[in-house]
Chain A
Amino acid sequence: MTDASLSAVLPGFPQMLKGRWGVGGMSLTVWLGLLGVLLNRWARFGAGWGGPLDHQIASLTVVAGLLGAWGWSMFDVSRPAEMERSGIGQWSLTARAFKKNRVAVIGVMVVVWIYLIALITPLIAPHDPATQASLLTARLVAPGGEFPLGTDHLSRDVFSRIMYGARISLSIGFIAVGISVTIGTLLGAVSGYLGGWVDTVVMRFVDMVISFPRLVLLIAIVALFESNSIFLIMAVLGLTQWPGTARIVRGEVLSLREREFIEAARALGFSRRRIILRHVIPNALAPVIVTATLGVGNVIVLEAGLSFLGLGLQPPTPSWGSMVSDGRGYLLDAWWISTFSGLAIVLTVVAFNLVGDGLRDALDPRLRT
């Protein structure tokens, strides 16, 4: 059987046979998993196209994931061998180092799968996250049977709520880190490149924000503004996360600005704006990517903490932190509520930290711990 025909049935399998188990395993699991969803939930998949937006996105994700895994594998087995060794830039070196790190590759797979599950939740969740089953018969039901992870005090399915909760945690993590990385990189680069009073002002401000008890600020803003908006929480988390990134970028830029290629850019008469955006920042990105990945885990834990204190999103929106908090009153009667929702947080954060550690080792051996 040729690679191409094998790949047409089991995309990723030929790559796995050749020892490229990371990329191969990823496309194979995505292919098999999504195929399983498609066959088992055919009715929901079909109905999804005319349903609400998240349902449409879910159906679209299934199609895109299947086509992506299949298409990539077919392209990969059919391309000529000499293309594989084209170019050894910084990024392909990094990719090569990263792939050697088995744990980190597993981390990437877990992260990809968590994102996929978050996207296709409407298709696979056994119950609606906010709908209560009978309060008389289905309250605090132990895991098993109709409710894989049991039900909570309002007789809602814990398993479905955890799957829907992934969206909240992941989107808050993603957007808050996006905000913080943008601000941190820009401020750090400008401050490091320009130096002088700009640097002093920015860095003193960073010192101040860092020594500020961040949680107090977060709790104060969320509680005093009496808003449960997801956008407020994203913005507040993002706007308090950036100082670390700014410090790291500044340190990197301080050494970059003395290098010849920056001097050359200056000699060519480029504007400072252009030098910072096109020459300085791209070369300072390696540590930023690492802090961003590790930051996602950090933000997810913080958001869960805010929800745990009752300052998260409006119920009945499922959020991991508030589920842990819900289960707190029923620890003895229903240990599964807090336990499983907390495990979801731990699994997600561990996966992001694994990826972050792997990236750090691959990108910058000096930072290795």
Chain B
Amino acid sequence: MTTFIVRRLLGAIPLVLGIATIIFFVVNLAPGDPALRFMSPNMSQEAIEQVRVNLGLDQPIPIRYVRWLGALGQGDLGVSFSHNRPVLDVIKELLPNTLLLSVSAIGVAFVFGILLGILQAVRQYSLLDSVASIVGLFFYSMPSFWLALMMVLVFSLFAYELQWPIQFPGTDIQSVDYAFLSPLEKVQDRLLHLTLPATSLALVLAAGIARYTRGSMLEVIRQDFVRTARAKGLSEPVVIFKHALRNGLIPVITLLGLYLPFLFSGTVFIESVFSWPGMGKLVVDAITERDYPVIMGGSLVFANMVVVGNLVSDMLYAVVDPRIRYD
């Protein structure tokens, strides 16, 4: 297992390098001038040149590429143009927020999606199955940003207007008076702020997971070993959860790896709707502000998350399915 992980990590190096190269050239070959943001019409020519030198933009692109790659090798992502701080510091600050959002969404989505999928498979063609399939298809086809807006509309705006007992905040990660709350209230405040964004992300994901689980469970349930398990008198929950589910989960786990890039696009929209201070919003803002180091650093982080996600799902295969051995 260890050799497998090491081999996979080594194999990922050219992949990450290739991605870094694509990112660099897409960003740097695009028309437009990132130095413009520091300039005003009444600056002298020397001052303008000095800005370019300071930002390292006076060099030709191949040299900038080698320099950037060299710094990257030492764990240096450069200094952000708009934040005036090292990119790494900015990412360190915002990455936990995004992880909080995406991990809780993935967790909720997988638990609910798998449970619903099992239920649908066990009661195939029942009313529950058809209703869940149709409703699931709608959520599956929904743009996450629209779902998020509708959640805000109903659970914060209408809830406030109609004075519902529970109203969820529709923006930001914590309340303005967060610093003055007691520890218990702090946790409560965080949870309230997390609910809407995580739910809107999780609903879209769970719909896909349920579809997938249903299909794969249906295949497994018809197999001989399940009949054997029933025949030897095991109770239905044991048959389903211990015998069938473990085999039915194998394809579902592939989804975990596949969903990580999708999750990024999800967080971009969700963070933008909820003004959630996270990586997605950081990269989108950086792109509109032409903050080249942040664009490159941020997308690199996301690409790495995808690579790690694929690795994790390969390792989970071995956990769920002992027949798979990576030696």
Q: Within the complex, what minimum Cβ distance (angstroms) separates A244 from chain B?
A: 10
Contact at A226–B31, with CB atoms within 8 Å? Answer: yes
Question: In chain B, residues 197-215, which have Cβ atoms closer than 8 Å to a Cβ of chain A?
Answer: 211-212, 214-215
Does B183 reach chain A (CB closer than 8 Å)?
no
Contact at A308–B137, with CB atoms within 8 Å? Answer: no
Does A194 reach chain B (CB closer than 8 Å)?
no
Chain A proximity mask over B119-142: 1 for CB below 8 Å, otherwise 0: 000000000000000100110111
Does B18 reach chain A (CB closer than 8 Å)?
yes
- Name A302's closest neighbour in chain B (CB-CB): B265
Residues from chain A with a CB closer than 8 A to the CB of B299 are: 213, 216-217, 220
Q: Within the complex, what minimum Cβ distance (angstroms) separates B123 from chain A?
A: 17
| A-B CB pair tally, cutoff 8 Å | 137
Contact at A212–B31, with CB atoms within 8 Å? Answer: no
Q: Within the complex, what minimum Cβ distance (angstroms) separates B252 from chain A?
A: 11
Does B306 reach chain A (CB closer than 8 Å)?
yes
Does A346 reach chain B (CB closer than 8 Å)?
yes
Q: Which of B157, B214, B215, B268 has the most CB of A within 10 A?
A: B268
Does A208 reach chain B (CB closer than 8 Å)?
yes
- Complex Cα distance, B208 from A353, in Å, reads 12
Residues from chain A with a CB closer than 8 A to the CB of B32 are: 224, 226
Q: Within the complex, what minimum Cβ distance (angstroms) separates A26 from chain B?
A: 21
Contact size range, A: 35 or more
Contact at A208–B137, with CB atoms within 8 Å? Answer: no
Contact at B307–A331, with CB atoms within 8 Å? Answer: no
- Complex Cα distance, B303 from A217, in Å, reads 11
- Chain A, interface SS category: helix
Residues from chain B with a CB closer than 8 A to the CB of A210 are: 261
Does B176 reach chain A (CB closer than 8 Å)?
no
Does B234 reach chain A (CB closer than 8 Å)?
no
Chain A proximity mask over B137-161: 1 for CB below 8 Å, otherwise 0: 1101111011001101100010001
Does A207 reach chain B (CB closer than 8 Å)?
yes
Does A354 reach chain B (CB closer than 8 Å)?
yes
Contact at A309–B215, with CB atoms within 8 Å? Answer: no
Q: Within the complex, what minimum Cβ distance (angstroms) separates B157 from chain A?
A: 5
Residues from chain A with a CB closer than 8 A to the CB of B211 are: 369
Residues from chain B with a CB closer than 8 A to the CB of A350 are: 137-138, 141
Q: Within the complex, what minimum Cβ distance (angstroms) separates A110 from chain B?
A: 12
Contact at B287–A220, with CB atoms within 8 Å? Answer: yes
Residues from chain A with a CB closer than 8 A to the CB of B283 are: 216, 219
Chain B proximity mask over A290-308: 1 for CB below 8 Å, otherwise 0: 0000000100011011001
Segment at the interface with B among A120-128, A131-139, A334-342: A334-342
Does B80 reach chain A (CB closer than 8 Å)?
no
Contact at B26–A308, with CB atoms within 8 Å? Answer: no
Does B284 reach chain A (CB closer than 8 Å)?
yes
Chain A proximity mask over B18-29: 1 for CB below 8 Å, otherwise 0: 110011001100
Residues from chain A with a CB closer than 8 A to the CB of B295 are: 216, 220
Contact at B138–A211, with CB atoms within 8 Å? Answer: no
Contact at A324–B141, with CB atoms within 8 Å? Answer: no
Contact of B149 among A220, A302, A331, A369 (CB under 8 A): A331
Q: Within the complex, what minimum Cβ distance (angstroms) separates A303 from chain B?
A: 10
- Complex Cα distance, B25 from A224, in Å, reads 12
Contact at A211–B141, with CB atoms within 8 Å? Answer: no
Does B272 reach chain A (CB closer than 8 Å)?
yes
Q: A308-B269, A369-B215 are in contact. Are A223 and B287 (CB under 8 A)?
A: yes
Does A197 reach chain B (CB closer than 8 Å)?
no
Residues from chain A with a CB closer than 8 A to the CB of B153 are: 331-332, 335, 338-339
Residues from chain A with a CB closer than 8 A to the CB of B298 are: 216
Contact at A224–B306, with CB atoms within 8 Å? Answer: no
Question: In chain A, residues 312-364, which have Cβ atoms closer than 8 Å to a Cβ of chain B?
Answer: 321, 324, 327-328, 331-332, 335, 338-339, 342, 345-346, 349-350, 353-354
- Name B215's closest neighbour in chain A (CB-CB): A369
Q: Within the complex, what minimum Cβ distance (angstroms) separates A320 from chain B?
A: 9
- Name A223's closest neighbour in chain B (CB-CB): B287
- Complex Cα distance, B26 from A157, in Å, reads 39
Contact size range, B: 35 or more
Contact at B261–A369, with CB atoms within 8 Å? Answer: no
Does A221 reach chain B (CB closer than 8 Å)?
yes
- Complex Cα distance, B143 from A342, in Å, reads 8
Contact at A342–B149, with CB atoms within 8 Å? Answer: yes
Residues from chain B with a CB closer than 8 A to the CB of A224 are: 26-27, 30-32, 287, 290
- Complex Cα distance, B217 from A240, in Å, reads 32
Does B302 reach chain A (CB closer than 8 Å)?
yes
Does B216 reach chain A (CB closer than 8 Å)?
yes
Contact at B149–A353, with CB atoms within 8 Å? Answer: no
- Complex Cα distance, B47 from A50, in Å, reads 59
Residues from chain A with a CB closer than 8 A to the CB of B30 are: 220-221, 224-225
- Complex Cα distance, B22 from A220, in Å, reads 12
Does A266 reach chain B (CB closer than 8 Å)?
no
Contact at B137–A353, with CB atoms within 8 Å? Answer: yes
Q: Within the complex, what minimum Cβ distance (angstroms) separates B233 from chain A?
A: 31
Does B102 reach chain A (CB closer than 8 Å)?
no
Q: Within the complex, what minimum Cβ distance (angstroms) separates B62 from chain A?
A: 19
Residues from chain B with a CB closer than 8 A to the CB of A310 are: 288
Contact at B146–A346, with CB atoms within 8 Å? Answer: yes
Residues from chain B with a CB closer than 8 A to the CB of A342 are: 142-143, 146, 149-150
- Complex Cα distance, B32 from A354, in Å, reads 43
Contact at A223–B288, with CB atoms within 8 Å? Answer: yes
Does B15 reach chain A (CB closer than 8 Å)?
yes
Contact at A211–B306, with CB atoms within 8 Å? Answer: yes
Contact at B138–A213, with CB atoms within 8 Å? Answer: no
- Complex Cα distance, B272 from A215, in Å, reads 14
Contact at B31–A211, with CB atoms within 8 Å? Answer: no
Q: Within the complex, what minimum Cβ distance (angstroms) separates B172 from chain A?
A: 16
Contact at A308–B143, with CB atoms within 8 Å? Answer: yes
Question: In chain A, residues 222-265, which have Cβ atoms closer than 8 Å to a Cβ of chain B?
Answer: 223-226
- Complex Cα distance, B224 from A299, in Å, reads 41
Question: In chain B, residues 146-187, which have Cβ atoms closer than 8 Å to a Cβ of chain A?
Answer: 146, 149-150, 152-153, 157, 161
A-B pairs with beta carbons under 8 Å apart, 5 shown = A219-B268, A226-B32, A301-B141, A338-B146, A369-B211
Nearest first, the 8 A-B pairs at minimum CB distance are A369-B215, A224-B30, A342-B146, A349-B141, A215-B265, A213-B302, A211-B306, A216-B299
